[in-house]
Amino acid sequence: MDVMTAVLSRRSAQHLVEPAPSDEEFGYLLRAAATAPDHGRIRPWRWVLVRGEGRTALGRCFADESPATGAERYRTESRTHRAPLLATLVFTPATGHRVPEWEQLAATSAMTTSLMLLLHARGFGSIWRTGRFTESDAVSRLLGLSSGERLLGWLYIGSADDAQPFRRRLPDDVSDRVSAFAPEPVLV
């Protein structure tokens, strides 16, 4: 799949099933995604891969952190079973670095977007999920985050459980979002 097709046909996939990429395939794709712009090659991110029973433990933690009871608690707990792989994105900014934190966050987002396009090009579906559990101390402890690290969400990854092929999007007209700088003439 060429890059333009990947960009215009990738969608966030809601229903994901096996197979998901293996740890080795995820690592292979991540090595390519890590070539995204990253001033200083800081790589201010890391991934925690959650599969199998790990999804159950994470779902239980979500439910324990939620005020919901009964059926709503069950729905909260079962969220982590919406995909066979939950790739947890952890932002690990280099503090005091000459590259400001906002730029490190931009590099992390660029890498993640590249990874999602690479997954799509390989036939996998994904969706980047965030929400209140990214701010949970209990979830951070469960996943082994250190002080100064921040959860940016989860890429739910698997194979799209949908017989419909992804259609190319028609790009929107964004010409109103571009301007050309023309300085005033300097009179001497």
Q: What is the CATH number of the domain that holds 80?
A: 3.40.109.10
Q: pLDDT at position 89, please? A: 98
Residue 57 in domain:
yes
Per-residue pLDDT of the chain (188 residues; tens, 9 = 90+): 899 999 999 999 988 999 999 999 999 999 999 999 999 999 999 999 999 999 999 999 999 999 989 999 999 999 999 999 999 999 999 999 999 999 999 999 999 999 999 999 999 999 999 999 999 999 999 999 999 999 999 999 999 876 566 678 888 999 999 999 999 988 88
Residue 181 belongs to some domain of the structure: no
Domain, as residue range, for 87: 10-163
Number of independent structural domains in the chain: 1
Q: In this predicted structure, what is the pLDDT of residue 14?
A: 87
**What pLDDT does 166 receive?**
67
> Does 3 fall in a domain?
no
pLDDT for res 94: 96
Instruction: Classify residue 173: in a domain, yes or no.
Output: no
Return d(Cα 167, Cα 172) in angstroms, integer.
15
pLDDT of residue 188: 80
